[in-house]
Structure 1
Amino acid sequence: MNSQYVRREVFCGNTCHELKRFWEREIGKQTYYRQSEEHRLGRSALRKLREEWKQRLETKLRLRNNPEEVERQTTVS
């Protein structure tokens, strides 16, 4: 029985090191992909366009809900 345990420890020692190295590489790849995707999205104009459309919609809703306020603003200007 002792020889079986020794073999497993030796086998596990080499394999564990290789597994650890494999998973460290995989984690590194995933981190790189995630960071590059975040960078790509940060440069994207989509966020800016969404914000502009959101502001337009809010303005239209305000105009629809309070038409008297718009008349006051045009008379003041």
Structure 2
Amino acid sequence: FQGMNNQYVRREVFCRNTCDELKRFWEREIGKQTYYRESEEHRLGRSALGKLREEWKQKLETKLRLWNNSDETEKRANVGQELH
């Protein structure tokens, strides 16, 4: 540092300290956001809403399957009547 002007040395030290502080700040922010996201995912995982949605989805799929099967049975019956 002997041949350097004092203003440059101070700026380098200031930048190094500031960069470390900024890095720590953003690491803390990222850590907080990660914690909040994981907490929310955990909360939603325990929620009854997901289970209810899955139950309704299964009921609807069952009804659609029955409806499609009854439609096919009716079509077969109509084709059989037309042949006779």
Q: Bigger CA drift: 21-30 or 1-10?
A: 1-10
> Where in structure 2 are there 5+ consecutive unaligned residues?
73-84
What is aligned with 2:67? 64
The normalised TM-score by structure 2 is 0.71
1:1-77 matches, within 5 Å, as 2-67=5-70
User: Aligned partners of 1:39, 1:16: CA distance in 2, in Å?
Assistant: 34
Aligned length: 70
The normalised TM-score by structure 1 is 0.76
When the two chains are superposed, the root-mean-square deviation of aligned CA atoms in Å is: 2.2
- 1:33-65, CA deviations, whole angstroms, 9 ceiling, x for partnerless residues? 011001101101111111111111111111111
Query: Identity percentage over the alignment?
Result: 87
User: Aligned partners of 1:60, 1:66: CA distance in 2, in Å?
Assistant: 10
User: Aligned partners of 1:68, 1:39: CA distance in 2, in Å?
Assistant: 43
- 1:3-60, CA deviations, whole angstroms, 9 ceiling, x for partnerless residues? 3322220111111121111111111111110110011011011111111111111111
Question: Runs ≥4 in structure 1, deviation > 4 angstroms?
Answer: none
